Amino acid sequence: MKRYPLHTLLKLREHRVEAARQKVLECQREVQACRDACLLIEGEIIALEFERGQQRKRLLDPPQAGESWPSALAQREAHIDLLGEQAEAARQRLFKAQQKLREAELALAEARTAFFRAKAKQDALEKRRDVWRDEQHALAARHEERATDDLLQSRHAAPA
């Protein structure tokens, strides 16, 4: 197994954490886009249903001059049916958009998990580096103390 220098591993971990963070941001944007699409479709459904209700209320209004009752009634019923079909088609699109939203939310959860895993590995590596530095500082301090002690002992031991 090949061992890499600590600073190389830290740079690699930083890169992986940044890539995971970018993935989380990308997934968040995708989730927001899916939510916006769902809201837009829901608004469309509400508008279609409202228009359909308005058309039903005007179903028995007298026809325009020169238009017969049966043709006006058939035309209005056809328009109401068309609005109903459009609303149903919008509901189908909403169902698909909601399914896509669930998939995007799942991808976001996975991306967050991967980010936190990468961040934990980076933090562990940084902690290991800090422990190593502390050990090196303590070792250097002990060497300096020994050198000072040796110097003091050599002064006292040397006959004048």
How do residues 94-143 score in pLDDT, each as one tens digit?
Answer: 999 999 999 999 999 999 999 999 999 999 999 988 998 899 999 999 99
Question: How far, in whole angstroms, is CA 6 from its chain's centroid?
Answer: 31
Q: C-alpha distances in angstroms, 63 versus 11, 14, 76? A: 77, 73, 10
Per residue in 42-75, pLDDT (tens digit) is 999 999 999 999 999 988 888 888 889 889 899 9
Q: The domain containing residue 87 runs over which residues?
A: 15-117
State the total domains in the chain.
1
Looking at the domain assignment, is residue 137 inside a domain? Answer: no
Rounded distance, CA 73 to CA 65, Å? Answer: 14
Half-sphere exposure of 46 (CA within 13 A, CB side): 6
Collect all residues with Cβ–Cβ distance below 8 Å to 93 and sequence separation of at least 6: 41
Question: Do the domain assignments include residue 125?
Answer: no
In this predicted structure, what is the pLDDT of residue 158? 60
Measure the CA–CA gap between 25 and 35, rounded to whole angstroms: 15
Is residue 80 in some structural domain?
yes
